Amino acid sequence: MAILVTGCAGFVGAHVTKALIDRGERVVGLDNLDPYYDVRLKQARLERLCAHDRFRFERLDLTDREALAGLLDREADIAGIVHLAAQAGVRHSLVDPYAYVQANVLGQVTLLEAARRLRRLDHLVYASSSSVYGLNEHLPFRESERVDRPGSLYAATKRSAELISHAYGHLFGLPQTGLRFFTVYGPWGRPDMAYYTFAKAILDGTEITLYEGEGLARDFTYVDDVVDGVLRVLDHPPAGGDAPGRTFNLGNDRPEPVALLVSLLEQALGRVARVRRIPRPATDIEATWASVDAVETLTGWRPSTRLQDGIPRFVDWFRSYATAG
């Protein structure tokens, strides 16, 4: 049997793929190497994966229906899918909204239609986002809350994907679980994320931009904890009367001030940040905080990495990657 990972050259996708390989799974990885950010980083992640004989890579756009159907015909023994391919970036959705609808909505439909062709599908786990909580102000965010007030098009597309999965679960019995990731960070991360851009600016001696307000905080979640959560959930497919639209939060259950993130980066890099403050844009909420009680009840998962430990690990990788580049 095999596991299909979409977005395998992405940040979380590459880490999940490596963890699956390490535990003995055969993995088919799919990615279109979209140039939203430097493709060389995606290729470097991919090179590490291609060194393993239990991994096979397919360069393929998820919305290419014929190509995806052909892949699943050739890999008919796929029993699990981890769907991480997406157009990421909240603020970029203001610039290119069509890319988000194409990748996050049409991509979800295309994958689910293709998944119906598989002889045996034990579980499909897909990435959603904490952004679906939108303009909610009650903390911590719980899966039982209504999520019908998105604060960005990105959030709207991720919530749409959840609803589409609910429909396919109800109509066709596809066993699925959506995971709402909260501000994932760590080695091999995305260059558009705040912690990455802050680290580069501090190292280069250029300004970083912080939003005004004392309450700005994020539930920063270390990538190894997220990977552990993904694999645990994958191993616990819905059964019996489980709701077809099952979703769980994967967060650190510990919102930290963005100011602390900057301080930890300064300590790890040995340099002082140059800070410019601007008003917080409408796409960004003041704070995020994940309740993880539901996923802990199902799988026993809880995050274990503090920001004080995770940031130095990221900086160690960042220094070596920046030097190598």
Catalytic residues: 154
Distances (CA, A) of 300 to 154, 181, 183, 235, 242: 30, 17, 21, 12, 18
AA letter at 287:
A
Distances (CA, A) of 25 to 3, 274, 320: 7, 46, 29
| Coil, strand or helix at 171 | helix
Residues 6 or more apart from 138 whose CB is under 8 A from it? Answer: 145
HSE-up of 195 (CA within 13 Å, CB side)?
31
Distances (CA, A) of 180 to 78, 229, 248: 24, 11, 6
Contact (CB, 8 A) for 72 and 30: no
Site of tokens 């598989």: 118
Give the burial string for 42-75 (b: 16+ CB within 10 Å, else e). Answer: bebbbeebeeeeebebbebbbbeeebbeebbeee
The tokens of 19 are what?
């963890």
d(CA 14, CA 20): 10
* 257 prior amide bond cis, ω within 30: no
